[in-house]
Protein backbone atom coordinates (compact mmCIF):
# COMPACT_ATOMS: atom_id res chain seq x y z
CA UNK A 1 0.00 0.00 0.00
CA UNK A 2 1.44 3.40 -0.91
CA UNK A 3 2.30 6.04 1.63
CA UNK A 4 0.05 9.09 1.55
CA UNK A 5 0.87 12.47 3.00
CA UNK A 6 -1.57 15.01 4.35
CA UNK A 7 -0.29 18.51 3.73
CA UNK A 8 -0.33 21.36 6.21
CA UNK A 9 -2.82 23.23 4.01
CA UNK A 10 -5.54 20.98 5.41
CA UNK A 11 -5.49 23.23 8.50
CA UNK A 12 -6.72 26.21 6.46
CA UNK A 13 -8.90 24.38 3.95
CA UNK A 14 -12.35 26.01 3.75
CA UNK A 15 -13.95 22.75 2.58
CA UNK A 16 -12.33 20.58 5.22
CA UNK A 17 -13.16 23.07 7.99
CA UNK A 18 -16.87 22.67 7.15
CA UNK A 19 -16.68 18.93 7.88
CA UNK A 20 -17.79 18.15 11.46
CA UNK A 21 -14.78 17.51 13.68
CA UNK A 22 -15.99 13.99 14.50
CA UNK A 23 -16.04 13.18 10.77
CA UNK A 24 -12.64 14.64 9.89
CA UNK A 25 -10.76 11.52 10.98
CA UNK A 26 -12.45 9.65 8.10
CA UNK A 27 -9.94 11.30 5.73
CA UNK A 28 -6.96 10.02 7.70
CA UNK A 29 -8.27 6.46 7.65
CA UNK A 30 -9.47 6.31 4.05
CA UNK A 31 -6.66 8.22 2.30
CA UNK A 32 -4.44 5.15 2.63
CA UNK A 33 -7.07 3.07 0.79
CA UNK A 34 -6.81 5.28 -2.30
CA UNK A 35 -5.22 4.11 -5.50
CA UNK A 36 -3.12 6.48 -7.59
CA UNK A 37 -6.32 8.04 -8.96
CA UNK A 38 -7.70 8.91 -5.52
CA UNK A 39 -10.34 6.16 -5.75
CA UNK A 40 -11.21 3.60 -3.11
CA UNK A 41 -13.94 1.14 -2.27
CA UNK A 42 -16.22 2.99 0.12
CA UNK A 43 -18.82 0.33 0.82
CA UNK A 44 -19.39 1.14 4.52
CA UNK A 45 -18.84 -2.44 5.67
CA UNK A 46 -15.52 -2.57 3.78
CA UNK A 47 -14.35 0.77 5.20
CA UNK A 48 -15.34 -0.35 8.70
CA UNK A 49 -13.41 -3.60 8.29
CA UNK A 50 -10.27 -2.09 6.72
CA UNK A 51 -10.04 1.18 8.63
CA UNK A 52 -11.70 0.56 11.96
CA UNK A 53 -11.25 -3.19 12.50
CA UNK A 54 -10.23 -2.87 16.16
CA UNK A 55 -12.40 0.14 16.97
CA UNK A 56 -15.40 -1.72 18.27
CA UNK A 57 -17.32 1.43 19.14
CA UNK A 58 -17.32 2.56 15.47
CA UNK A 59 -20.48 1.43 13.69
CA UNK A 60 -21.51 1.09 10.05
CA UNK A 61 -23.88 4.02 10.65
CA UNK A 62 -20.91 6.13 11.82
CA UNK A 63 -19.05 5.35 8.59
CA UNK A 64 -22.15 6.20 6.52
CA UNK A 65 -22.48 9.54 8.34
CA UNK A 66 -18.82 10.43 7.85
CA UNK A 67 -19.07 9.61 4.16
CA UNK A 68 -22.21 11.71 3.86
CA UNK A 69 -20.41 14.66 5.48
CA UNK A 70 -17.61 14.43 2.89
CA UNK A 71 -20.11 14.04 0.04
CA UNK A 72 -22.10 17.06 1.22
CA UNK A 73 -18.95 19.24 0.93
CA UNK A 74 -18.13 17.60 -2.43
CA UNK A 75 -14.80 16.42 -1.09
CA UNK A 76 -15.63 12.93 -2.34
CA UNK A 77 -17.81 11.73 -5.19
CA UNK A 78 -19.44 8.33 -4.92
CA UNK A 79 -20.81 5.79 -7.43
CA UNK A 80 -22.08 2.22 -7.39
CA UNK A 81 -20.99 -0.80 -9.45
CA UNK A 82 -22.60 -4.22 -8.98
CA UNK A 83 -23.87 -3.36 -5.50
CA UNK A 84 -20.51 -2.05 -4.31
CA UNK A 85 -19.81 1.58 -3.50
CA UNK A 86 -16.72 3.48 -4.65
CA UNK A 87 -15.54 7.02 -3.97
CA UNK A 88 -12.89 9.39 -5.22
CA UNK A 89 -11.35 12.35 -3.42
CA UNK A 90 -12.05 15.40 -5.59
CA UNK A 91 -8.72 17.16 -5.09
CA UNK A 92 -6.53 14.08 -4.63
CA UNK A 93 -4.37 14.82 -7.70
CA UNK A 94 -3.57 18.32 -6.48
CA UNK A 95 -2.50 17.14 -3.06
CA UNK A 96 -0.45 14.12 -4.11
CA UNK A 97 2.65 13.74 -6.22
CA UNK A 98 2.25 10.63 -8.33
CA UNK A 99 5.45 9.57 -10.05
CA UNK A 100 3.70 7.08 -12.30
CA UNK A 101 0.14 5.87 -12.52
CA UNK A 102 -0.46 2.26 -11.64
CA UNK A 103 -3.44 0.17 -12.61
CA UNK A 104 -6.75 1.16 -11.05
CA UNK A 105 -7.92 -0.73 -7.97
CA UNK A 106 -11.53 0.31 -8.56
CA UNK A 107 -13.85 0.68 -11.52
CA UNK A 108 -13.36 4.06 -13.20
CA UNK A 109 -15.77 6.76 -12.10
CA UNK A 110 -18.71 7.42 -14.43
CA UNK A 111 -18.46 10.24 -16.98
CA UNK A 112 -20.30 12.81 -14.82
CA UNK A 113 -17.84 12.30 -11.96
CA UNK A 114 -14.84 12.32 -14.34
CA UNK A 115 -16.08 15.70 -15.59
CA UNK A 116 -16.21 17.03 -12.01
CA UNK A 117 -12.67 15.75 -11.41
CA UNK A 118 -11.35 17.49 -14.53
CA UNK A 119 -13.07 20.71 -13.39
CA UNK A 120 -11.45 20.32 -9.96
CA UNK A 121 -8.03 19.90 -11.59
CA UNK A 122 -8.57 23.00 -13.72
CA UNK A 123 -9.67 24.95 -10.63
CA UNK A 124 -6.61 23.70 -8.74
CA UNK A 125 -4.31 24.78 -11.58
CA UNK A 126 -5.84 28.27 -11.67
CA UNK A 127 -5.24 28.73 -7.96
CA UNK A 128 -1.91 26.96 -7.51
CA UNK A 129 -0.47 26.84 -11.03
CA UNK A 130 0.59 23.74 -12.87
CA UNK A 131 4.36 24.06 -12.95
CA UNK A 132 4.91 20.68 -11.32
CA UNK A 133 2.04 18.66 -12.66
CA UNK A 134 0.29 17.76 -15.88
CA UNK A 135 -3.08 16.21 -16.54
CA UNK A 136 -3.22 12.56 -17.55
CA UNK A 137 -6.62 10.93 -18.07
CA UNK A 138 -8.20 13.31 -15.59
CA UNK A 139 -5.39 12.93 -13.05
CA UNK A 140 -2.19 14.86 -12.43
CA UNK A 141 1.20 13.26 -12.69
CA UNK A 142 4.63 14.65 -11.87
CA UNK A 143 6.45 16.01 -14.97
How far apart CA 37 and CA 105 sit, in angstroms, is 9
Is residue 37 domain-resident? yes
In Å, how far are 42, 108, 125, 130 from 87, measured between CA atoms?
6, 10, 22, 25
User: How many domains, the chain?
Assistant: 1
Given pLDDT bands bounded at 50, 70 and 90, which one contains residue 46? very high
* Residue 100 maps to a domain: yes
Is there a domain that residue 70 lies in? yes
First to last CA, the chain: 23
80 beta partners: 85
Asked whether 87 and 110 are in contact (CB, 8 A), the reply is no
For residue 84, the model assigns a pLDDT of 96
Question: What is the mean predicted confidence (pLDDT) over 87-94?
Answer: 81
Identify the pLDDT of residue 10. 79
Share of the chain above pLDDT 90, in %: 45
Amino acid sequence: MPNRYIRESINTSPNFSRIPVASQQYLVHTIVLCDDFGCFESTPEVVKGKCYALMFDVTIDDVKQWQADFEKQEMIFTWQVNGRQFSVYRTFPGHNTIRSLHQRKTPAPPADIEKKLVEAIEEWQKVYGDGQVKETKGMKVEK
